[in-house]
């Protein structure tokens, strides 16, 4: 088993009614539940919207994440899977495709021993 | 995260919490700042959605939401205070108190209190009935504009207009966000009853709205009525009577509509399907309601519903008791529809001719027969029972034309079948 990261990107300002929020919430809970039940779930966390960006040879600090609002990195999951293909298949459960959100799957490389 | 633990949110938790948060925050920011309040609630849900979805629900989701809303309120106030043109000393004093003061609004008893204030504000007698209904669903029940439109079989633009109109009126006329006191309380409660009962009936009788949202409406009306009944200021015999009436009616919710979406009449309903828990609640609240000197229409209507719900089968229905109750109801509520329902009871007690005459004596009957299918349907079927086939057929056909419900059309067509050979034209 290898570890993979799911990065979630999308607009940070969804406008949903309470009932819609609840429906969306439940879809996530079900997805995470399924990943957990099958032993794929390792960890996950949301990322705060507040952030700083440091850039340049003499680093300049700017407020906020660097990408456009609509591509805000909202959080990540760490998933256990046998291959990139399997991890990608699991990613199809992501509930926010219809909310203009996207997901990036990346393998976490193991650092080879000396 | 525990393996195999299934995490499911309580049905409509977010809607109910939205109602609570809006009520409390309105008390903090004032009814004129309803826009700010709604934004704060929206942000709270966004935060929950962001945080909860990666792992686990908090042990007490409801408390979590309230805490976030509270902190957002405190932040907002602190920011406002910074902007205010005050001395730094005063600002720091005020700010240190803000947290304590705001927390008081979020105590459980205060939440209930705020919700009641919100109900009274939304059902303010100076607002149009349709605006009261829309505003109640939006701010007390946490429905979206889209959901309200679906529930009331209206367009989103119309609902938006109603909400706008109601909010403007409240702002312009400085309607107070409060629970009325003294004599005003009883009068204001009457309006609240009307709005809640209307909400319930929209859900119970609408033939146009889809099943799911109709059920939501009934459940919501019941929930709000219960909220009212559980508050010291709202717990009056009439409130309990209305609550019991809703329980009795709701107990038959599932048995009224058949698989092919046809309406099943009381006589043919499968009484096994009636929800016994709700019937028991109805009985309980009706007993609780039996105090004081004021007999409300809700007492009588609930007693009528109880008579139906508690009869083991249609033929054991105590028609004499029902007739007595309808006579009393007619005194309090001399409306055509009560007359019509009373005539059905008369017919059951072998007073068919009197039943027909009762209907014929309803003022403006011609108008009703030509515009509301139920009058033609009932009178037509009574004529049928009396053997006056031509009149029966004429009225049933009229009812058939008037109703837009396919289920009703189907039922009327069945009714007309035996008279089909008779040509009245």
As a whole number of angstroms, the distance between CA B114 and CA B121 comes to: 10
Q: Domain for residue A22, yes or no? A: yes
pLDDT at residue B121 tops 50? yes
Judging contacts by C-beta atoms under 8 Å, the chain B residues touching residue A13 are 46
Low-confidence ranges of chain A (pLDDT < 70): 13, 66-70
Residues 6 or more apart whose CB falls under 8 angstroms from that of B107 comprise: none
Min mean pLDDT across B148-152, B265-269, B285-289 is at B265-269
Mutate to test the interface with B, among A5, A11, A17 (most CBs of B within 10 A): A17
Contact B15 A43 (CB under 8 A): no
pTM for the predicted model, two decimal places: 0.85
Question: Angle CA(B258)–CA(B262)–CA(B267) in degrees, nearest 5?
Answer: 75
User: Mean pLDDT over residues B59-68, rounded?
Assistant: 94
Find the closest chain A residue to B51 by CA distance.
A46
Contact A32 B53 (CB under 8 A): yes
**In the prediction, which pLDDT does B258 show?**
72
The length of chain A, given as a count of residues:
114
Judging contacts by C-beta atoms under 8 Å, the chain A residues touching residue B7 are 29, 33
- Count Cβ–Cβ pairs < 8 Å, chain A vs chain B: 82
**Bigger pLDDT: B325 vs B11:** B325
By Cβ distance, the residue of A20, A32, A33 closest to B144 is A20
**In the prediction, which pLDDT does B1 show?**
44
**In the prediction, which pLDDT does B418 show?**
85
User: Mean pLDDT over residues B61-86, rounded?
Assistant: 87
Which band of pLDDT confidence, cut at 50, 70 and 90, is reported for residue B4?
A: very low
Find the closest chain A residue to B15 by CA distance.
A18
pLDDT in tens, B206-265: 766 677 788 889 999 999 999 999 999 999 999 999 999 999 999 998 888 776 666 777
Q: What is the dihedral of CA B221, B222, B223, B229, to 10 degrees?
A: 110
Number of structural domains chain A divides into: 1
pLDDT in tens, B184-208: 999 999 999 999 999 999 888 776 6
Closest CA to A99 of A28, A1, A35, A4: A28
Q: Domain for residue A40, yes or no? A: yes
pLDDT at residue B382 tops 80? yes
Q: Domain for residue A113, yes or no? A: no
Which band of pLDDT confidence, cut at 50, 70 and 90, is reported for residue B409?
A: confident
| Under 8 Å between Cβ of B95 and B78 | yes
Mutate to test the interface with B, among A15, A22, A94 (most CBs of B within 10 A): A22
pLDDT at residue B420 tops 90? no
User: Mean pLDDT over residues B6-28, rounded?
Assistant: 91
Residues of A with CB under 8 A from a CB of B: 13-22, 24-26, 28-29, 32-33, 36-37, 41, 43-46, 74-75, 77
| Under 8 Å between Cβ of A69 and A11 | yes
The CATH code of the domain at B311-425 is: 1.25.40.10
Say which residue the tokens 């995260």 belong to. Answer: B1
**Bigger pLDDT: B60 vs A113:** B60
The boundaries of the domain holding residue A102 are 2-107
- For chain B, give the percent of residues with pLDDT over 70: 95
Compute the mean pLDDT over every residue in chain B, rounded to the nearest whole number. Answer: 90
Provide the residue ranges of all domains of chain B, joining segments of one domain with +: 10-106, 311-425
Q: Domain for residue A114, yes or no? A: no
- ipTM for the assembly: 0.86
pLDDT at residue B321 tops 50? yes
Contact B12 A33 (CB under 8 A): no
Q: How distant is the Cα of A111 from the closest Cα of chain B, in angstroms?
A: 27
User: Mean pLDDT over residues B402-412, rounded?
Assistant: 83
pLDDT at residue B166 tops 70? yes
**In the prediction, which pLDDT does A49 show?**
80
Over the Cα atoms of chain B, what is R_g? 26
Judging contacts by C-beta atoms under 8 Å, the chain B residues touching residue A75 are 50, 53-54
| Under 8 Å between Cβ of A112 and A49 | no
Q: Domain for residue A112, yes or no? A: no
Q: Domain for residue A72, yes or no? A: yes
CATH number at residue A84: 3.30.70.1060
Which contiguous run of DSSP H or E holds residue B229? Answer: helix B211-229
């Amino acid at each position: 088993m290898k570890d993979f990261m799911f990065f979630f990107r999308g607009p940070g300002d969804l406008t949903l009614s309470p009932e819609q929020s609840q429906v969306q919430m439940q879809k996530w809970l079900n997805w995470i539940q399924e990943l957990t039940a099958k032993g794929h779930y390792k960890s996950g966390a949301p990322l705060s919207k507040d952030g700083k960006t440091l850039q340049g040879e003499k680093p300049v600090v700017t407020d906020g994440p660097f990408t456009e609002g609509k591509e805000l990195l909202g959080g990540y999951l760490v998933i256990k899977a046998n291959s990139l293909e399997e991890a990608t298949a699991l990613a199809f459960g992501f509930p926010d495709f219809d909310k203009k959100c996207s997901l990036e799957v990346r393998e976490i490389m193991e650092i080879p021993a000396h | 995260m525990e393996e195999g633990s299934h995490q499911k949110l309580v049905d409509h938790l977010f809607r109910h919490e939205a109602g609570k948060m809006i009520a409390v925050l309105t008390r903090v920011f004032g009814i004129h700042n309803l826009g700010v309040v709604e934004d704060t609630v929206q942000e709270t849900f966004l935060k929950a959605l962001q945080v909860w979805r990666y792992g686990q629900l908090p042990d007490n989701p409801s408390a979590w939401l309230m805490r976030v809303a509270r902190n957002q309120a405190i932040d907002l106030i602190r920011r406002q205070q910074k902007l205010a043109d005050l001395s730094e000393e005063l600002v720091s004093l005020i700010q240190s108190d803000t947290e304590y003061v705001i927390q008081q609004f979020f105590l459980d008893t205060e939440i209930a209190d705020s919700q009641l204030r919100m109900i009274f504000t939304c059902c303010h007698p100076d607002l149009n009935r349709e605006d009261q209904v829309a505003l109640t669903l939006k701010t007390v029940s946490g429905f979206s504009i889209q959901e309200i439109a679906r529930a009331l079989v209206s367009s989103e633009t119309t609902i938006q207009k109603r909400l706008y109109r109601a909010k403007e009126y409240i702002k312009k006329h400085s309607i107070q966000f409060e629970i009325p006191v003294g004599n005003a309380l009883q009068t204001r409660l009457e309006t609240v009853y009307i709005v809640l009962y209307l909400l319930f009936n929209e859900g119970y009788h609408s033939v146009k709205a889809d099943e799911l949202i109709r059920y939501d409406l009934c459940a919501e009306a019941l929930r709000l009525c219960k909220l009212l009944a559980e508050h010291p200021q709202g717990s009056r015999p009439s409130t309990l009577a209305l609550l019991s009436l809703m329980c009795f009616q709701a107990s038959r919710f599932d048995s009224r509509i058949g698989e092919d979406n046809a309406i099943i009449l009381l006589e043919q309903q499968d009484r096994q399907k009636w929800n016994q828990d709700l019937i028991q609640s109805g009985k309980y609240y009706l007993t609780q309601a039996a105090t004081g000197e004021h007999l409300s229409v809700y007492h009588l209507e609930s007693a009528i519903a109880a008579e139906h719900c508690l009869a083991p089968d249609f033929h054991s229905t105590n028609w004499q008791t029902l007739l007595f109750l309808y006579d009393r109801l007619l005194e309090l509520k001399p409306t055509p529809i009560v007359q019509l329902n009373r005539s059905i009871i008369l017919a059951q007690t072998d007073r068919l001719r009197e039943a027909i005459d009762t209907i014929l004596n309803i003022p403006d009957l011609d108008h009703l027969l030509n515009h509301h299918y139920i009058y033609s349907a009932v009178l037509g079927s009574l004529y049928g029972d009396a053997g006056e086939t031509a009149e029966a057929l004429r009225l049933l056909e009229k009812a058939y034309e008037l109703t837009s419900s396919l289920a009703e059309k189907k039922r009327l067509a069945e009714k007309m079948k035996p008279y089909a050979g008779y040509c009245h034209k």
